[in-house]
Every structure is written in structure tokens, then in C-alpha cells.
Amino acid sequence: MSDDFSALLAHMQADFLDEFPERCNRLEEGVMALEQQEADAFDELYRQIHSLKGAGGMFGVPVITTICHQFESFISEARHGFDRKACDSALRYVDLLRKSGVDRDASAVAVIEEELEKLRTSSLSGRASVLLVEPSAAMRQLYQQIFSAQPVRLVTLESGLAALERMLHEHFDLMLASRELPDLNATALVAAVRESGCRNSDIPVILVSSNKAAVPAYLRITALVPRDTNLAANISRYAAELLARCSPYYRK
Amino acid sequence: MTLKRILYAEDEPDIQAVAKLALEMLGGFQVLICNTGIEALEKVQDFAPDLILLDVMMPGIDGPTTLLRLRADPATAGIPVIFLTAKVQPSEVLQYQSMGALDVIAKPFDPMGLAAEVKKIWGRNHA
């Protein structure tokens, strides 16, 4: 039975890859429809990308899932100002998908992943990516206000484990976290990220805490900010300094 | 109790086809695929499944809402449910378990391992 199923699955995988270029063409049409601001264009494009995201991994081409994941986030963020530039970026995602259906050996996948990372950085148009990990809604609101003046993309999470999972998959330029978090506290989170060897293992970190106990040096915390009346001013200052370092002018 | 009949609500045609074959051929189950949560609610009583698999993100009503509606009807309230989701976050798993789901299977799943995973979860809860 298992052999029969393997044979059938191989057949379905082959069908999926045969139809894949056609699905990429439909994505391209979807991107053009979104640029023309046609009704329901966003929902339709999102549905198509989401569908490929599920199928890619299941049919043994996980890089399709990785590209679609980023593509999905990109169109969600760009949907309200989907101009020519956003359209160009979206079409580059479609091109990467096309390649991923053709070149599937490890070295080709590595090249695709590299291009994907470049696309992510360029589609941020110079904006830095900040991960905010804070369980309190009031504090999150405060930080959002502070960052609203900065050219950043802010991703907000509430727990240490959720932040760890996200950091293992997505690059950020700065993390701002409360020292005490549900699931996994921020020191354990930072230790795990530093040890992981992922793209974020050298990320600058601002920790906010009312706990004044020193943090171990090996965690390389950039700033430990007390939760006091100067909190907002301190965060603004550190964030501005750290973000200046990762702006396009400083980026290699 | 032996696991024989599985209803799976899933809106993606690719995943429907692979999951149905995997569950039938490798698990020996009888499988009914529904395209939406609404269709699952319409067909659940006639099909009388031992277990329901629910995709979390579906158009119309999502997986968690479908579970709440199943629980609200005494005829279907006792049928065990497993969620399938692409966004497996610990908080999400806890939330689904607190709603009464047996477990959560991560997507994309491995077609060769799906039936075994379903059996494992079932065995853990029906030992």
C-alpha cells in the first residue's frame, strides 16, 4: 500500500510541477490586477499565494512555501499603496517562484534564498525591521507611538516562544523586548537566538525591565532600559542610534 | 474504539487530494472531504465520522468557529477534532486544546506520515 501511495504521490508531484508555470502566470495576472486596483484583486491574489504555500511544502518543494510566506506578507503590507514599485517587487517574487519550480537542487535553492533575502530588504525600501515583544497592550501602544515617527516596519508579538519562532525564520534589524515574558523570558529568548546561528544571532537587543539585576555579558544586550518615567525618551534615543546603524547608508 | 471514518474540512484542492489518498491508502480510513466548514456541518450527521480534521484558515467560517458550532449541537458535540494549520505557535496550540481539540497537525504535513500521525494522536486519547 505504501509503495502504491508513493507512486501516486510522485505522480501528483509531477502534475503539480507541470502546472506550476501556469499557476505562476496566474499570479502575475493577479499582481497586474492589483496594480489596476480591480475589485477583489487582493483577496484573489492572496488566496492563490496561500494555496501555493500549502502545496509547495506538501509536494516536497519547501522553498515554494518560504517564498510564498514572504510574498504573502509583502502584499498584505503593500496592499493599500500598491504602486508601480510594489508591483515590480511582487513580480520579482513571481519570477523567484518560477525559478524554484525549475531549479530544485540544493545549490539552486541556496541562490533562490539569497535572492529572496535581497528582495525582502529592497521591498522594505530602506525601512528597518523591528521586532517588539511585549505582553502588555498598554506598553505595546506606547512603543508603537514611539516608532510611528521612524521609518520602520514593526512586528509585534506577545510571548517569548512566539518571538523565538519568528526570529528563526525572518530577519530583523532590532529587537525590543520586555525582560519578563510569558512562555520564555527575554534572557532565555536572547540566549537561544545567539546560540541558534540564525540570521538574527547578532541582532541588537533593547531590554526593558523594572528588574535592575545585571544581565549576563554573553547575551550581548545593547541596552537595559529601566521601566521608569524616562522610558519613552530612552527607548527613542537607543532606537534612533541603533536604527541609524542599519539604515541603507550603513548597510553593506 | 477503532478509528474508521474521518471527515476532513479543507479548502485547498491539492491538499484535499493528497490527504484523502494518504488517509485511505496508508491509514485504511474512510474519508469524506468537505470544501468548507459549512459543508462539514451539513454533512457531519449523515457521515457520522469517528474523527474530524479541520483546516484552521478556510473561507466562510474558519476551523475554530466550525468546532464551536459542532460543540453547540448535542448530536455532534462529542466527536473528536484535530486542527491542521500552517501557523503552529505554542499559544495557538494551547488555545485550540482549551477549545477541546485533541491536537494540532502542522502544515505542510508529510503525506507519507499523515495517517500515522492521526493514528498516534487518536491512540493517545483513546488508549
CATH of the domain at A185: 3.40.50.2300
Domain ranges of chain B: 5-125
H-helix segments, chain A? 2-35, 41-58, 62-78, 84-102, 106-123, 137-148, 160-169, 186-196, 231-245
Work out the angle between the directed axes of helices A106-123 and A84-102 (0-180°, nearest 10): 170
The CATH number of B5-125 is 3.40.50.2300
pLDDT of residue A248: 45
Q: Of the residues A123, A145, A160, which one is the last residue of a structural domain?
A: A123
Number of domains in chain A: 2
Longest pairwise C-alpha distance within chain A: 68
| Whole-angstrom Cα Rg for chain A | 21
Predicted confidence (pLDDT) at residue A249 exceeds the cutoff of 60: no
| pLDDT-based confidence at residue A124 (cuts at 50, 70, 90) | low
Predicted confidence (pLDDT) at residue A251 exceeds the cutoff of 50: no
Question: How confident is the model over B103-125, as pLDDT tens digits?
Answer: 999 888 999 999 999 999 999 98
The answer to whether residue A214 is domain-embedded is yes
B100: left (phi over 0), alpha (psi -120 to 50) or beta: left
Question: How confident is the model over A178-222, as pLDDT tens digits?
Answer: 999 988 999 999 999 999 888 899 999 999 998 888 889 999 998
Q: Which three cell numbers stand for residue A220?
A: 550581548
| pLDDT-based confidence at residue A126 (cuts at 50, 70, 90) | low
Residues A117, A7, single domain; the answer is yes
Predicted confidence (pLDDT) at residue B68 exceeds the cutoff of 50: yes
Q: Which of A103-107, A218-222, A236-240, A246-250 has the lowest mean pLDDT?
A: A246-250
Q: Which of A97-111, A176-190, B11-25 has the lowest mean pLDDT?
A: A97-111
Predicted confidence (pLDDT) at residue A250 exceeds the cutoff of 50: no
ipTM of the complex: 0.84
Q: Which of A163-172, A182-191, B46-55, B72-81 has the lowest mean pLDDT?
A: A163-172
Give the number of other Cβ atoms within 10 Å of residue B5's Cβ.
Answer: 14
Residues A53, A77, single domain; the answer is yes
Q: Minimal CA–CA distance to A134: which of A106, A109, A163?
A: A163
Residues A141, A89, single domain; the answer is no
Q: Of the residues A123, A139, A154, which one is the last residue of a structural domain?
A: A123
pLDDT of residue A177: 96
Residues A170, A227, single domain; the answer is yes
pLDDT of residue A213: 85
Mean pLDDT calculated for residue range A37-53: 91
What is the DSSP-derived secondary structure letter of residue B26?
A: I
The answer to whether residue A172 is domain-embedded is yes
**Closest approach of chain B CAs to the CA of A67, in angstroms?**
14
Identify the domain containing residue A177 by its residue range: 128-245
Handedness of CA B27, B32, B35, B37 (dihedral sign): negative
Contact list in B for residue A55 (CB cut-off 8 A) is 12, 14-15, 108
CATH, residue A50 = 1.20.120.160
Predicted confidence (pLDDT) at residue A125 exceeds the cutoff of 80: no
Cα–Cα dist B104/B109, whole Å: 11
Tell me the residue ranges of DSSP E strands in chain B.
Answer: 5-9, 30-34, 51-55, 81-85, 103-106
Of B17, B26, B107, which has the smallest distance from its Cβ to A12's Cβ?
Answer: B17
Residues A107, A135, single domain; the answer is no
List Cβ neighbours of A203 (8 Å cut-off, separation of 6 or more): A167, A172, A173, A174, A175, A193
Which residues in chain A (37-66) have CB-CB distances under 8 A to chain B?
A: 47, 50-51, 53-59, 62, 65
The answer to whether residue A251 is domain-embedded is no
**Closest approach of chain A CAs to the CA of B65, in angstroms?**
20
